[in-house]
């Protein structure tokens, strides 16, 4: 309980909350170094490395994190469940939470716009308890991988846990957009092509460090789901499937 309590305290000031819900995106890391058509070869990224470290005799526990667990992290959780089910993946468990759910008075709130967008795209919500959730200490510590929407969520989680327990969880926190850095040029081009066909306007280089947020009117929930779907198809589900085959 101490970790969750300290996390709430870390973001309780008005200035921090204002920054958390700011509509602007300021990339906090290097963009993809080359244009999509000339991107470098895929590298062995942190997500792949973390998956390889999880014992194969149990499910991989992956938790998605954003600010309010209202748009981005539930979208990632729903899409992970949907694509995993379609691929026949059974050796993975998914959850999500928001680092500022209680501070923003979102505890238990359901994002009907996200639910409706998911239904229109054929994404099931039946296996996810709808409603924004704050984290529990157990959820943070027991997750094998914490996939955050933005670099600042990474920084906040790592620092809060370090101050609360002395533990270093930096090795298991991954920014969702970093999946793009593990992809081949062909995969990046395929994602870009599908998004354009679906009229989704987004710069993949900015996604590497910060997923666009419908709450800040940077993207619609429909387009967010499509963006998450295409990234997961190429940089996420394939790796989970390979892990399951090798188990």
Q: What is the secondary structure of 135-166 as a DSSP string? A: --HHHHHH-SEEEESBHHHHHHHHHHHHHHHS
**pLDDT given for residue 169 in this prediction:** 93
Q: How confident is the model at residue 10 (pLDDT cuts 50, 70, 90)?
A: low
Q: 16-29, pLDDT tens digit by residue?
A: 444 544 433 333 33
Backbone angles phi, psi at 196, to 5 degrees: -65, -40
Question: What confidence score (pLDDT) does residue 24 get?
Answer: 34
Mean pLDDT of 22-40: 40
Mean predicted lDDT score pLDDT of the chain? 84
For residue 130, pLDDT beyond 80: no
Answer with the residue of higher pLDDT: 41 or 112: 112
Q: What are 153-177's pLDDT values in tens digits?
A: 998 889 888 888 888 999 999 999 9
CA dihedral 74, 78, 83, 88 (to 10 degrees): 120
pLDDT tens across 87-126, in order? 999 999 999 999 888 888 888 999 999 999 999 999 987 7
More confident residue, 6 or 246: 246
The token duo for 66 is 């954003």
pTM (2 d.p.): 0.85
What pLDDT score does 31 carry?
39
DSSP for residue 39: P
pLDDT (0 to 100) of residue 193: 95
Percent of the chain with pLDDT over 70: 81
Q: Smallest Cα–Cα separation from 144: which of 97, 93, 100?
A: 93
Predicted confidence at residue 29, as pLDDT, reads: 38
3-state secondary structure of 63: strand
pLDDT band at 33 (very low <50, low <70, confident <90, very high): very low
Check residue 102 and give its pLDDT. Answer: 83
* Bridge partners, residue 145, by sequence: 62
């Amino acid at each position: 309980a101490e970790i969750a309590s300290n996390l709430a305290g870390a973001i309780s000031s008005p200035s921090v909350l204002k920054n958390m819900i700011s509509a602007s995106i300021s990339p906090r890391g290097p963009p993809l170094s080359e244009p999509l058509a000339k991107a470098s070869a895929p590298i062995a990224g942190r997500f792949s490395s973390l998956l390889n470290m999880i014992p194969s005799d149990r499910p991989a526990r992956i938790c998605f994190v954003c600010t309010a667990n209202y748009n981005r992290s539930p979208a990632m959780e729903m899409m992970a469940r949907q694509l995993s089910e379609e691929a026949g993946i059974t050796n993975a468990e998914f959850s999500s939470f928001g680092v500022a759910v209680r501070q923003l008075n979102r505890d238990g709130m359901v994002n009907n716009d996200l639910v409706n967008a998911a239904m229109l795209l054929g994404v099931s919500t039946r296996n996810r308890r709808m409603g924004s959730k704050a984290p529990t200490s157990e959820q943070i510590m027991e997750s094998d991988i914490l996939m955050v929407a933005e670099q600042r969520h990474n920084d906040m989680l790592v620092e809060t846990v370090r101050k609360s327990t002395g533990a270093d969880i930096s090795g298991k926190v991954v920014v969702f957009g970093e999946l793009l850095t593990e992809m081949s040029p062909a995969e990046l081009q395929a994602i870009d092509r599908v998004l354009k066909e679906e009229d989704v306007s987004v710069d993949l280089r900015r996604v590497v460090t910060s997923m666009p947020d419908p709450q800040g009117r940077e993207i619609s929930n429909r387009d967010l789901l499509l963006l998450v779907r295409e990234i997961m198809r190429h940089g996420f589900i394939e790796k989970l499937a390979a892990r399951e085959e090798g188990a």
